[in-house]
Homo-oligomer: A and B are copies of this chain.
Amino acid sequence: MNGLMMQQPLLVASLLTHAERHHAEREIVSRRVEGDLHRYRFADLAARSRRLANALATLGIRPGERVATIAWNGYRHVELNFAVSGSGAVLHTINPRLHIDQLAYIVEHADDRAIFFDITFLPIVEALQARLATPRLFVAMYDAEHMPAGHDTLLCYERLIDSHDDRYDWPSLDENTAASLCYTSGTTGHPKGVLYSHRSTVLHSYAGALPDAFNCSARDAILPVVPMFHVNAWGLPFIACMVGAKLVLPGPALDGKSLYELIEAEQVTMSAGVPTIWQGLLAQVAGRRNAFSSMKRTVVGGAPCPTAMAAQFQQQHGVEVLHAWGMTELSPLGTVCSFKPHQLALPEEARYAIQAKQGRAVFGIDMKIVDPDGQPLPWDGEAVGELLVRGHWVARAYFGDTASQPLRDGWFPTGDMARIDRDGFMQITDRSKDVIKSGGEWISSIDIENIACLHPGVASATCIGVRHPKWDERPLLLVTRTPGSTLGKDELLAFLDGKLARWWKPDDVIFLESFPLGATGKVLKNKLREQYGAHYAGAAAPRS
């Protein structure tokens, strides 16, 4: 027997109509590629999104077809989000930092009918146009006066907006309709497309706004530094609409100085981004205390948050750090490290040890860790296994790829190694492909990196497993020094003594100027493994 409640679909457009109806005057402030600050209101966002939906119809975009963006975080990008998904087509956000080969592959694979781009990316667009077998519509997200000369085939975004009416009724779609598409930046093999639905997007927004997740209310001013081409800026533009928060969009200016000025000028209360971004921001306010007059908290995800970074935010500036974990396949939110009440009473050091973990699952995500045979491991804070998840916003398959069956018994294998403690706090110990297998045991490269980073002479650290004649693999530590540091191998290895199990201690240290980085800013460990894979080839066994 079914309940007798209204059957309304969970739709992306309903986030926009809610924001327009209840928060019409709330601002959206965007740093534009033109350099200036643009500001308008949710009422304007809604009206222009409807104009754009009419424009998409004129361009011949049909339900289910893909419309791509190569763009920074800005109001036009948000309009595209609602106009494309809301009208039943699929918004495909492309990471412009990918190699041109991957970009061309992705556009062909997604079969994007149109590509909207910020003028910054004109060189990429030109390269793409030269590569693509089928001609596609290219729309510059720009006004008519500034359109680049000599590109007659380009359409102009503002001209499309101006020439269409703002009356448009968002269709009542099935909530399982595809809404958006994001490709993983796989370091091996082709990128894979994750196809989000309207339902998964709305449920993800509910969960993401909860007090123990991003904790978003109408009193917030949210700055998503994380790009919309990284899993829809972790859902924050949707959440801002759901709760009526002011939205501050940084455009291309992601350096510490620009971010700091924007945060202060727009009285941002919460932000979200990857650790490398926060390094730049913290460097900008180095030596100061309480440099942020309005910012209350920041979400750190995409890579583990170093304890030193959390301490800088919290102790020097009173900005709470929310360590979080997610993946493209998770829309992306999986866990957030927000304290349980008994943890609040712990000594500072113990609290920082908790904040080094990625946290506990938000409601809607279920997780487990398993041994190599797939057997569940205990949540005791010790056992390390592969992390598997399932939930309302987890991918079950990849777009246009019926061959790969990613799930195992209904669970999605994340490719991360993790432990989970009794309180349900999960900590990533490694990517499963990065874990170091030494003498039949696992060594966590991330644990070693975190400890090495505690040395003041270490700017960043990467640990890889390197083939070893006796132990299969042994850890090799690669380090960049802080400016002026003369740190040497012996001093660093001595520093590690007593901080980790003796057999976890790297056999050698190599100092580098910088690490090879991928399109999402992560260190490319596979490149390092290629380069240093024979480093221990001639080594004697370290233990008899």
User: What is the interface of chain A, defined by CB distance below 8 A to chain B?
Assistant: 1-8, 10, 15, 17-18, 21-23, 25, 63-64, 90, 174, 176-179, 194-200, 203, 206-207, 209-212, 215-219, 242-244, 246, 331, 338-341, 344, 360-361, 363, 366, 390-399, 410, 412, 422-424
Contact = CB atoms under 8 A, between A and B. Distances in A.
A206 B204 CA distance: 10
Contact of A363 (B174, B243, B398): B243
A211 B243 contact: yes
A424 B22 contact: yes
The 10 closest A-B pairs by CB, nearest first: A3-B197, A1-B64, A211-B217, A206-B206, A22-B424, A5-B200, A4-B195, A3-B178, A4-B397, A219-B341
Residue of A176, A207, A219 most packed against chain B (CB within 10 A):
A219
Given A4-B194, A8-B391, A390-B8, A212 B206 contact: no
Contacts of A399: 4
A3 B424 contact: no
Most B C-beta atoms less than 10 A away, residue of A195, A212, A396: A212
Contacts of A242: 363
Contacts of A216: 211
Given A8-B391, A215-B211, A340-B218, A2 B197 contact: yes
A527 B467 CA distance: 88
Contact of A3 (B198, B246, B422): B198
Given A8-B390, A178-B3, A206-B207, A219 B396 contact: no
Contacts of A2: 174, 176-178, 197
Given A21-B366, A363-B15, A5 B396 contact: yes
Contacts of A1: 63-64, 90, 177-178
A178 B395 CA distance: 28
A17 B363 CA distance: 10
Contacts of A176: 2-3, 7
Given A366-B21, A424-B22, A179 B3 contact: yes
A338 B177 CA distance: 33
A15 B207 CA distance: 13
Contacts of A23: 340, 424
A177 B341 CA distance: 35
28 contacts: A1-B177, A3-B178, A3-B179, A3-B197, A4-B178, A4-B397, A4-B399, A5-B195, A5-B392, A5-B393, A5-B394, A6-B391, A6-B395, A6-B396, A6-B412, A17-B366, A18-B363, A18-B366, A22-B423, A23-B340, A209-B210, A209-B211, A210-B211, A210-B217, A211-B211, A212-B217, A217-B338, A218-B339
Contacts of A63: 1
B22 A360 contact: yes
- Residue in A4, A64, A210, A244 whose Cβ sees the most chain B Cβ within 10 Å: A4
Nearest to A217: B211
Contact of A5 (B197, B340, B366): B197
A18 to B, nearest CB: 5
Contacts of A3: 176-179, 195-200
Contacts of A396: 4-7
A56 to B, nearest CB: 16
Contacts of A412: 6
Nearest to A341: B219
A212 B218 contact: yes
Given A3-B195, A22-B424, A206-B363, 12 more contacts: A1-B63, A1-B177, A3-B178, A3-B196, A5-B199, A5-B394, A7-B176, A10-B392, A17-B366, A206-B210, A210-B210, A212-B218
A392 B196 contact: no
A219 to B, nearest CB: 5
Contacts of A392: 5-6, 8, 10
Contacts of A422: 25
A442 to B, nearest CB: 24
A6 B391 CA distance: 7
A366 B394 CA distance: 28
Nearest to A407: B6
A2 B207 CA distance: 22
A199 B199 CA distance: 12
A391 B363 CA distance: 21
A110 to B, nearest CB: 12
